Structure 1
């Protein structure tokens, strides 16, 4: 899977009400990725209007401040059974 670009999390726009990061796409829409997906290890933001994807560069500990901005707690880890 090839990506269009690599984007630092700091360069993305965080929307607390949607708990989503976005970044402008060359097609005129925007790349999107949910904070919970990032918490689960996903780093690929996709554009819903075209086939482009970007790789979001972040550290898991970076997400805590965004959860605080959204006023929600990070998901609880699933216990191994």
Structure 2
């Protein structure tokens, strides 16, 4: 059983529209990463590619609409504008 390092609100993360990815600083010096589409698919764990830490991202699917718009991507079915 794995545990998460912390719980982070989506608003506290940095969104990179060109990568369609959210990031958050990791204590190891790298950053936690999670893709927008993965979040839409129900994944809520952002992982650090340099260490074993993970964070639990707190969001609602409806929160993702503004990020799809920022990235210039059509909203998937299931998200209201």
TM-score under structure 1 normalisation? 0.91
* 1:74 shift after superposition: 3.2
| 1:35-68 CA-partner distances (Å, limit 9, x unpaired) | 0000000000000000000000000000000000
* Cα distance, 1:76 vs structure 2: 4.7
1:36·1:74 contact (CA, 8 Å) conserved in 2?
Answer: no
Task: State the Cα distance separating 1:33 from its structure 2 match.
Answer: 0.1
Q: Would you identify which runs of 4 or more consecutive aligned residues in structure 1 move more than 3 Å?
A: 74-77
Distance in 2 of aligned mates of 1:4 and 1:34: 19
How far did residue 17 of structure 1 move?
Answer: 0.1
Secondary structure, in 3 states, of the residue corresponding to 2:7? strand
State the TM-score, normalizing by the size of structure 2.
Answer: 0.91
- Paired residues in the alignment total 77
The answer to whether residue 11 in structure 2 is matched with residue 10 in structure 1 is yes
Whole-angstrom distance in 2 between the partners of 1:12 and 1:48: 16
Distance in 1 of aligned mates of 2:8 and 2:77: 27
Query: What is the aligned-residue RMSD (CA, Å)?
Result: 1.1
